[in-house]
Amino acid sequence: MKNSFSIVDFLLSRPYFIISFLALFLFLGLVGYNKIDRKLFPDSNYPTVAVVIVEPGESAKGLAANVSIPVEEELYTLDKIRRVYSTTIDEVSVISAEFEYTKNIDSATSDVSNALDKIRAKLPASILNPQIIKITEATAPIVTYAVSAKEGNVSLEDIRQIVQTQIKHKLIKVQGVANVDVFGGYEKEIEVIVDKEKLERYNLDIALVVAKLRANDNDFAIGFITGKDKRYLLRAQGKRDTVAKLKKVSITKEIQLQDIAKVYFGHYDNSAEYYGNSKNAIAIAVQRTGNADVIRTIARVEKEIQKLQNKYKISLL
């Protein structure tokens, strides 16, 4: 009788064949592990869209009644909405719309934008354009740096300028980086310091000055107005090369802005500060793209940071 020969007997009689297969599977596993995108935490949050609405000069109570509540009511009509909640302080309201897991974040953002357009006419005319922000697992920064001068002979205003105009643009080009946020105060902007005594001498008021700036050019949109004992501080959007043009803005037929105010491009005071190693610094927060590998992205950013430290003679911690 002829002996039967199975595949098991065939493999057992050739151990090197089995070892080769195991080595192949081990190799493929290692390659796959190195190529797979790694995240520090699983994506377990509900798709959330935040709306930031600013109304200069308005109190928290008025902003809540006239802006937050109407927006919340409109957002509750959206498809697959789970809950809507808001946080309101003087001049700023943040309304968050939380959706079910089955809702795509891009679709949710589009729905929120359409809802805001629908009720825009019902909201106060003085509010600034609402900002719509996606809240995902990639929203939180993967790494934050504190930037300061190495020798201490460079002002934080100049460091912030370098960070915003040079370093930010370098980092945002790194593979896997979605956004680079710069904060910590010391931001240079167009400052308009209006003399109250001169306003009274020419029989003018600050509302007229603001209206003339806004009517003259959209680039001169006023951000914040702060009243001092003998002057008003106005912050306007724009760059250094617009200062000369701004000075020539006509308030009346005979009076220009430079006749009643000091206009310059620089830093006046801070609404926020950041500390690194117990000293003032400028902060850089790096955000990744949704599908980027966290570990590899941090490594690429660290490599670029080393180059930037040497080039600009700054300390990044």
Tell me: do 182 and 308 sit in the same domain: yes
What is the domain count for the chain?
A: 3
Whether residue 4 lies inside any domain: the answer is: no
**Interval 80-101: pLDDT, tens:** 999 999 999 988 999 999 999 9
Check if the beta carbon of residue 197 is closer than 8 Å to that of residue 230. yes
Whether residue 39 lies inside any domain: the answer is: no
Instruction: Residue 239: count other Cβ atoms within 10 Å of its Cβ.
Output: 11
CATH code of the domain in which 111 resides = 3.30.70.1430
Average pLDDT, the chain: 84
Tell me: do 278 and 152 sit in the same domain: yes
Whether residue 34 lies inside any domain: the answer is: no
Residue 25 and residue 294: Cα distance in Å, rounded? Answer: 26
Q: Which domain holds residue 97?
A: 48-135
C-alpha pair distances (Å), 298 with each of 32, 34, 112, 141, 283? 20, 15, 32, 10, 16
CATH code of the domain in which 154 resides = 3.30.70.1320
Whether residue 306 lies inside any domain: the answer is: yes
**Interval 157-210: pLDDT, tens:** 888 888 988 999 999 999 999 999 998 888 877 888 888 888 888 998 888 888
Tell me: do 70 and 113 sit in the same domain: yes
Tell me: do 127 and 158 sit in the same domain: no
Q: What is the pLDDT of residue 150?
A: 79
Tell me: do 115 and 165 sit in the same domain: no
Residue 132 and residue 116: Cα distance in Å, rounded? Answer: 10
Predicted structure pTM score: 0.66
C-alpha pair distances (Å), 24 with each of 34, 164, 238? 16, 49, 61
**Interval 204-257: pLDDT, tens:** 888 888 888 777 755 555 555 566 666 666 666 666 667 888 888 889 888 998
Whether residue 24 lies inside any domain: the answer is: no
Show which of 68, 102, 135 is a domain's final residue: 135
Q: Look at residue 34 and tell me whether its pLDDT is greater than 90.
A: no
Whether residue 244 lies inside any domain: the answer is: yes
Q: Look at residue 132 and tell me whether its pLDDT is greater than 60.
A: yes
CATH code of the domain in which 252 resides = 3.30.2090.10
Q: Look at residue 315 and tell me whether its pLDDT is greater than 60.
A: yes
